[in-house]
Amino acid sequence: MSENSEISARIIQKRREKGLTLYEVAKKVGVAASTIQRYENGSIKNFKAPVLNAIAAALGVTPEWLCGKSQADRSYAMPRNVYPADLGDYARVPVIGRVAAGLACHAEENIEYYEYASKDLIRSGSDYVYLKVIGDSMSPLIMEGDLVLVRCQEIVESGEYAVVLIDNEDGVVKKVNFGRNYIELISINPYYPPRRFEGNEMERIRIFGKVIESKRKF
């Protein structure tokens, strides 16, 4: 049996043992039920580690157990001064590598993995994504590779940071200023001058969402 076949079999085994439906597991993981089904039937060739980790957590087992090892509980060998976090105060948010015209906020094909965000930052009834920042136009405030938490919405207030699309190109993070009959996109890096769109040019701009926070990993 291949490693992927073993993983698929163990997902099915543990889900059935716990009496969970595909939908219930998918809801815990934060993906569509069809995604869990594809993991179970082995139609996904390259299993993504972040998704497997999330499936393991949803089923109450370790990722190691899903991969064929014997450890079936959720105890991890951790340093003595490190303790498991209580994830009850956090929400799993999809991480996307780009914002493109025509892609919905939670377009499954655009999701790379999941990151945890404090529930204090999450507003009920809204969609959220983490966007991986590309480029240095917002440095040093936001650096390339940072993750920005974005609340998907089409309107922001003047002076707020947002992910915007220009002429249906990939989305970028900018400070957005609104004036009388113009929109100005501001970069923090002084190398990049402000871009002003006036009159009919304002129609070239579409707001994807408001930036709520940024985080950096080294």
- State the catalytic residues: 137, 174
Do residues 214 and 146 touch, judged by C-beta distance below 8 A? yes
Alpha helices, H only, the chain:
3-17, 22-29, 33-41, 49-59, 63-66
How many Cβ atoms are within 10 Å of 62's Cβ, its own excluded?
A: 18
Q: Are 189 and 136 in contact (CB under 8 A)?
A: yes
Distance of alpha carbon 143 from alpha carbon 17, whole angstroms? 45
